[in-house]
């Protein structure tokens, strides 16, 4: 699976603090994945989210963990201490079982 991951924030994020040393994507089967990213902007061009494009494809049923460290900064909301969450990769349609 090679879908992007979107993270939305309630406040404007300091884009210089959102990078591969503060944001981690880890799969329980593929391990750490580097990523490309693009920022999601609100109607006033403030960065209020990020879209991550993991370098590795995740496997169906793989548990993916995302970690934001406390070094991610929100200028209007100081005091962010970090956050982590996980989800399971799955398909919307079909079994994802392929044969050659």
Q: What is the pLDDT of residues 15-60, one digit of tens each?
A: 999 888 999 999 898 888 778 888 888 888 888 889 998 888 888 8
Q: Where residue 98 falls among pLDDT bands split at 50, 70, 90?
A: low
Residue with the bigger pLDDT between 1 and 9: it is 9
Name which of 30, 20, 17 is nearest 61 in CA terms: 30
Task: Give the DSSP letter of residue 43.
Answer: T
Give the pLDDT confidence score for residue 22 in this predicted structure.
Answer: 93
Question: In the structure encoding, which two tokens stand for residue 67, read together?
Answer: 């970690």
Phi, psi of 16 (to 5 degrees): -70, -20
Give the pLDDT confidence score for residue 17 in this predicted structure.
Answer: 92
Structural domains of the chain, with CATH: 5-88 (2.60.40.1220)
- C-alpha angle 58-55-96 in degrees, rounded to nearest 5: 25
């Amino acid at each position: 699976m090679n879908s992007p991951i979107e993270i939305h924030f309630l406040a404007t994020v300091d884009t210089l603090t959102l990078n591969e040393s503060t944001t981690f994507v880890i799969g329980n089967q593929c391990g750490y994945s580097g990523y490309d990213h693009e920022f999601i902007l609100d109607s006033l061009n403030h960065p209020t989210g990020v879209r991550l494009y993991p370098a590795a494809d995740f496997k169906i049923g793989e548990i993916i963990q995302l970690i934001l460290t406390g070094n991610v900064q929100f200028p209007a909301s100081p005091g962010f201490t970090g956050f982590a969450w996980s989800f399971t990769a799955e398909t919307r349609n079909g079994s994802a079982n392929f044969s050659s």
